[in-house]
Structure 1
């Protein structure tokens, strides 16, 4: 019997945008992405776009902050049970900043952590 994975796919790839309007225009008009959602959960605006089965998240750069995580900011992995996924990471000795996911409303959660090379990763539960 095949073991089912806690990780069900890539939710999105986060990309830093120095000029959110210019980036939005480029991804829509030049590359053909479709706008899904624009939100401002904090200081930075987030814009979600889709092309085929791929979703990108443009992350607005606020106050010319540095690219400490690079231009490709993070890879978000879709999970069905974020709490179980966090336990799974603990069991695999992944260093975690906390043990609590951030509630995003409407049953959605996210949780950021780092991979072995310092890459920024996100768990995302819809």
Structure 2
């Protein structure tokens, strides 16, 4: 299966103030790559990709008035770029991975220029995102 993996996609970090977090990472040498948002039932979840230290951080600000989801720390998941999301997920399932967090992949054609992803959990509850840009 290792032939599918193309490298770390990003490291996700929750923030309570998107602008403050962006200012901090810019101050220490980072730069905003893209900003976006996703509508949720609770409201707009703000997103930003920040280039920093040779990789991307995904800053996530939950909708106004909501807290970081329970059970998740300040780093909720890490993402791995894959060449073919469907094939990678099928190979993982064939290898015995049964911890996918949704029955189907999510396709977000308008987020960060278009992406599809699918999450599963590791043995300690860590969330792993399989990420394919469209």
**Shorter-chain TM band:** 0.7 to 0.9
**How far did residue 52 of structure 1 move?**
4.4
Q: Which segments of 5 or more consecutive residues in structure 1 lack a partner in the other structure?
A: none
SS state at 1:65 partner = coil
Task: Name the residue aligned to 1:108.
Answer: 115
Task: Name the residue aligned to 1:54.
Answer: 55
Q: Provide, for residues 22-63 of structure 1, a one-character-per-residue CA deviation record: whole Å limited to 9, x for no partner.
A: 11110111x211111110122210010102430000000332
Stretch of structure 1 that moved more, 103-112 or 20-29 = 103-112
Structure 1 residues 20 and 99, CA, compared in 2 at 3 Å: closer, same or farther? same
Cα-Cα RMSD: 1.8
TM-score, normalising length from structure 1?
0.87
Whether contact under 8 Å (1:13, 1:55) holds in the other structure is yes
Q: Which segments of 5 or more consecutive residues in structure 2 lack a partner in the other structure?
A: none
Rounded to whole Å, the distance in 2 between the matches of 1:73 and 1:107 is: 21
Stretch of structure 1 that moved more, 66-75 or 100-109 = 100-109
Task: Name the residue aligned to 1:23.
Answer: 21
Q: Structure 1 segments of 4 or more deviating over 4 A?
A: none
Task: Say whether 1:91 aligns with 2:91.
Answer: no
Rounded to whole Å, the distance in 1 between the matches of 2:38 and 2:66 is: 19
Rounded to whole Å, the distance in 2 between the matches of 1:120 and 1:36 is: 23
| Number of residue pairs matched by the alignment | 123
SS state at 1:117 partner = coil
Given the alignment, which residue of 35, 43, 48 partners 1:38? Answer: 35
**How far did residue 76 of structure 1 move?**
0.5
TM-score, normalising length from structure 2?
0.83
